[in-house]
Structure 1
Amino acid sequence: MQFISGLPQGVYVGQTQIQHPRALASTSSALAGFNLALHVNDQTARVQQHRMMLLDQLSAYGVNKITWMRQTHSTLCHTVNHQQSFNEREGDGLVTQLAGHALMMMTADCLPVVLGNANGTEVANLHAGWRGLANGIIENTIEQMQSQPTWAWLGAAISQPCFEVGTEVKQVFCEKYPPLESAFESGKQFGKYQADLYAIARYILGLYGVKVVLGGDQCSYRQSDRYYSYRRDPQAGRMASFAFMA
Structure 2
Amino acid sequence: MSSVDPCSRPVRKVFTHRAGGVSAAPYDSFNLGDHVGDDPEAVRANRARLAAVLGLEPGQLVWMEQLHTNRISVVEEAQETPVAATDGIVTTQRGLALCVMVADCVPVLLSDHEAGVIAAVHAGRPGARNGIVKNAIECMCQLGARPEDVHALLGPAASGENYEVPEALAADVEQHLPGSRCTTRRGTPGLDIRAGLVHQLAHMGVRAIDVDPRCTIADHQFFSYRREKTTGRQVGVVWLPE
**TM bracket, shorter-chain basis:** 0.7 to 0.9
1:51 maps to amino acid: R
Work out the CA distance in 1 between the residues paired with 2:81 and 2:156: 30
Which residue of structure 2 aligns with residue 16 of structure 1? 16
What SS does structure 2 have at the residue aligned with 1:206?
helix
**TM-score (normalised: structure 1):** 0.85
- What is the aligned counterpart of 1:197 among 183, 193, 213? 193
Conservation of the 8 A alpha-carbon contact between 1:113 and 1:155? yes
CA contact (8 A) 2:77 2:96 kept: no
Partners of 2:33 and 2:233 in 1: CA distance: 6
What percentage of residue pairs aligned between the two structures are identical? 28
Query: Is residue 70–residue 86 contact of structure 2 (8 Å, CA) maintained in 1?
Result: yes
Q: 2-side partners of 1:119 and 1:244: how far apart?
A: 14
Provide, for residues 219-242 of structure 1, a one-character-per-residue CA deviation record: whole Å limited to 9, x for no partner.
Answer: 111110x21111110011000110
Secondary structure, counterpart of 2:227 in structure 1: coil
Name the CA distance, whole Å, in 2 between partners of 1:231 and 1:105: 18
Alpha carbons of 1:186 and 1:237: their partners in 2 closer, same or farther (altered >3 Å)? closer
Which amino acid is the alignment partner of residue 185 of structure 1? T
| Alignment match, 2:183 | 185
Question: Are the equivalent residues in 1 in contact too, given 2:166–2:189 (CA < 8 A)?
Answer: yes
CA RMSD of superposed structures (Å): 2.4
Q: Does residue 65 in structure 1 map to residue 60 in structure 2?
A: yes
Residue 212 of structure 2 corresponds to 216
Kindly state the Cα deviation for residue 151 of structure 1 after the two structures are TM-superposed.
Answer: 1.4
CA displacement 1:13-48 (0-9 Å, x = unmatched): 01111111xx2151x2x2111001111110111101
Q: Partner of 1:53 in structure 2?
A: 49
> Runs ≥4 in structure 1, deviation > 3 angstroms?
83-88, 186-189
Match of 1:109 among 104, 110, 122: 104
Return 5+ residue gaps in structure 1 as ranges. none
**2: distance between equivalents of 1:35 and 1:9?**
27
Deviation for aligned residue 1:118: 4.7
Alpha-carbon distance, 1:63 to partner? 8.4
- Any gaps of 5 or more consecutive residues in structure 2? none
Q: 2:203 matched to which residue of 1?
A: 207
Counterpart in 2 of 1:95? 90
Q: Is the 8 A contact 1:76 1:92 kept in 2?
A: yes
**More moved, 213-222 vs 132-141:** 213-222
The question of whether the paired residues in 2 share the 8 Å contact of 1:117 and 1:151 is answered with yes
| C-alpha contact 2:23 2:39 (8 A) present in aligned 1 | no
Give the Cα separation in 2 of the matches to 1:44 and 1:132. Answer: 27
Q: Does the CA contact (< 8 Å) of 1:63 and 1:244 recur in 2?
A: no
Q: Is the 8 A contact 1:63 1:100 kept in 2?
A: no
Q: In the alignment, which of 75, 78, 95 is matched to residue 73 of structure 2?
A: 78
Compared CA separation, residues 244 and 120, structure 1 to 2 (3 A) = farther
Cα distance in structure 1, aligned partners of 2:81 and 2:194: 34
Q: Distance in 2 between matches of 1:121 and 1:82?
A: 15
Q: 1:38 to 1:205 in 2, by over 3 A?
A: same
Amino acid at match of 2:240: M
1:175 to 1:160, Cα distance in 2 relative to 1, 3 A? closer
Q: How many angstroms does 1:214 deviate by?
A: 0.8
1:170 deviates by 2.0
Alpha-carbon distance between aligned partners in 2 of 1:106 and 1:128, rounded to the nearest angstrom: 10
Rounded to whole Å, the distance in 2 between the matches of 1:72 and 1:184 is 25
1:77–1:91 Cα contact (<8 Å) kept: yes
Per-residue deviation, 1:87: 6.6
Q: In structure 2, the residue corresponding to 1:69 is in which secondary structure? A: coil
